[in-house]
Structure 1
Amino acid sequence: MRHKMLNLLNVSSTHLSTNQIILNFAIATILGLVIYLSYRTSHTRVVYSGRFNVSLLMMTMITTLVMSVIGNNIALSLGMVGALSIVRFRTAIKDPRDTAYIFWCIGIGICCGVSEFLVATIGTGFIFVTLVVFGLVQDNFRYLLVVRCDRNKEKAVLAEVKQFYKGKAELKVNNSTVDKSEFIFELTHKIIKKASSQESNISDRLYDLGGIDSVNTVCQSDEMR
Structure 2
Amino acid sequence: MDNLLNFKDMFKKSVLKMDAFEGVSLVDLLLSLLVAFLIGMFIYYVYQKCYRGVVFSHNYNMTFVLMTIITALIIMTISTNIVLSLGMVGALSIVRFRTAVKDPMDIMYMFWAVSAGIASGAKIYSVAIIGSLVVGATIWWLTRRREATAPYLLIVHYEAAAEEEVKRRVRKMNGTLKSKSVRADITELTVELRIRDDNTAFVGEFSALEGVKDVALVSYNGDYAQ
TM-score by length of 1: 0.70
Q: Is the 8 A contact 1:10 1:75 kept in 2?
A: no
Pick the aligned partner of 2:189 from 163, 178, 183.
183
Secondary structure, aligned partner of 1:59: helix
Secondary structure, aligned partner of 2:115: helix
- Deviation of residue 74 (structure 1)? 5.0
In structure 2, the CA distance between the partners of 1:65 and 1:177, relative to structure 1 (3 Å rule), is: same
Query: For residue 202 of structure 1, what is the aligned residue in structure 2?
Result: 206
How much identity, in percent, do the aligned residues show? 29
After TM superposition, list the pairs within 5 Å mapping 1:75-114 onto structure 2.
Answer: 75-85=83-93, 86-94=95-103, 96-114=104-122
Secondary structure, aligned partner of 1:221: coil
Secondary structure, aligned partner of 2:146: coil
Listed one character per residue, the Cα deviations across residues 125-168 of structure 1 (whole Å, up to 9, x for unaligned) are 33344334444333443332323356xx2xx4432222223464
After TM superposition, list the pairs within 5 Å mapping 1:24-43 onto structure 2.
Answer: 24-43=32-51
Q: Is the 8 A contact 1:203 1:215 kept in 2?
A: yes
Instruction: Tell me if 1:145 matches 2:157.
Output: no
Q: Is the 8 A contact 1:111 1:119 kept in 2?
A: yes
Secondary structure, aligned partner of 2:38: helix
Secondary structure, aligned partner of 2:72: helix
- CA distance in structure 1 between the partners assigned to 2:156 and 2:136 by the alignment: 45
Query: For residue 161 of structure 1, what is the aligned residue in structure 2?
Result: 166
- Deviation of residue 58 (structure 1)? 0.5
TM-score by length of 2: 0.69
- Deviation of residue 115 (structure 1)? 2.0
- CA distance in structure 1 between the partners assigned to 2:200 and 2:65 by the alignment: 45
Q: Is the 8 A contact 2:218 2:225 kept in 1?
A: no
Q: Is the 8 A contact 1:29 1:57 kept in 2?
A: yes
Name stretches of at least 5 consecutive residues in structure 2 with no aligned partner. Answer: none
Q: Is the 8 A contact 1:9 1:74 kept in 2?
A: no
In structure 2, the CA distance between the partners of 1:48 and 1:137, relative to structure 1 (3 Å rule), is: farther
Q: Which amino acid aligns with 1:38?
A: V
Structure 1 stretch displaced more, 25-34 or 76-85: 76-85
Query: For residue 218 of structure 1, what is the aligned residue in structure 2?
Result: 218
Q: Which amino acid aligns with 2:225?
A: M
Name stretches of at least 5 consecutive residues in structure 1 with no aligned partner. Answer: none
Q: Which amino acid aligns with 1:121?
A: I
In structure 2, the CA distance between the partners of 1:23 and 1:195, relative to structure 1 (3 Å rule), is: closer
- CA distance in structure 2 between the partners assigned to 1:101 and 1:112 by the alignment: 16
Structure 1 stretch displaced more, 48-57 or 131-140: 131-140
- Deviation of residue 60 (structure 1)? 0.6
RMSD over equivalenced CA pairs, Å: 3.8
- CA distance in structure 2 between the partners assigned to 1:21 and 1:220 by the alignment: 46
